[in-house]
Amino acid sequence: MNVEDDEDRELEKLVNFSEWYKRFNDVRVVVKQYFSDSGGGGGKMAWDLIFWVLCFFINIALLASSFYQLLSLSDLEADHLNPFEAATRINSIVLPEFLLQGFFCLSFLLTWHWFMFISTLPITVYHVMLYLNRKHLLDVTEIFRDLNTEKKYRFVKLAVYLLLFTVVLFRLLSASIFFFFAWKFEELDIRTSLFY
């Protein structure tokens, strides 16, 4: 009885293991397919990772610029900064930010990341609109009148960038996990083949 029970248990374990193993097998197949499809072996995976790393840094830069502008504005409000300096500081980074953001958005379009593209699109459109209306730069002379709206606008932008940041971070992590795990699978693959 005992023995049978034990055997049963062993059997169960075996079955479990084989099921578990099967999954790996499937993954391996998928991974293999994935690489073989892209033609470059691990190339596509690497490019993906590189892309997300790039996005990550762009996003950080955008965040930083927004934050810096906000900081300058609140400094201005608290009278730590005079309007001339504040306007020069902010205006000097407005265009780079717009360009960077445009590039960010465009790169999603080119890499067919629809979701990311659509979520960055509104800001891009808004930027383009501002630029075409020539309202993208702070007006030194009326800076205090516009202060609140400008701050609000930058707060909203900061929030959106933060949101994007979480998404990008997630994608970056998944891409890197994918990448490194896939590497492991490759290794696993070799080792497991020794078993057979």
Closest approach, Cβ 130 to other proteins, in A, equals: 14
Residue keyed to tokens 């999603």: 108
Closer by beta carbon to other proteins, 114 or else 144: 144
Closer by beta carbon to other proteins, 42 or else 83: 83
Question: Which residues neighbour 87 within 8 Å (Cβ) at sequence distance 6 or greater?
Answer: 137, 138, 139, 140, 143
Closer by beta carbon to other proteins, 73 or else 172: 73
Q: Could you give the C-alpha distances from 163 to 26, 100, 107, in angstroms and in order?
A: 34, 17, 18
Closest approach, Cβ 145 to other proteins, in A, equals: 7
Closer by beta carbon to other proteins, 139 or else 187: 139
Closer by beta carbon to other proteins, 94 or else 140: 140
Q: Which of residues 47-106 bind other proteins (CB under 8 A)?
A: 76-77, 79, 82-84, 87
Q: Does 115 bind other proteins (CB under 8 A)?
A: no
Residue 189 φ/ψ region, left for φ over 0, alpha for ψ in the -120 to 50 degree band, beta for the rest: alpha
Return d(Cα 133, Cα 82) in angstroms, integer.
26
Residue keyed to tokens 């950080």: 60
Return d(Cα 196, Cα 192) in angstroms, integer.
7
Closer by beta carbon to other proteins, 28 or else 136: 136
Residue 127 φ/ψ region, left for φ over 0, alpha for ψ in the -120 to 50 degree band, beta for the rest: alpha
Closest approach, Cβ 147 to other proteins, in A, equals: 8
- Other CB atoms within a 10 A radius of the CB of residue 171 amount to 19
Q: Where are the beta strands (DSSP E) in the chain?
A: none
Return d(Cα 111, Cα 159) in angstroms, integer.
24
Q: Mask of contacts with other proteins, 118-147, x by CB under 8 A? A: ----------------x--x-xxx-xxx-x
Total of chain residues touching other proteins, rule CB under 8 A: 16
Which stretches of the chain bind other proteins, using CB under 8 A? 76-77, 79, 82-84, 87, 134, 137, 139-141, 143-145, 147
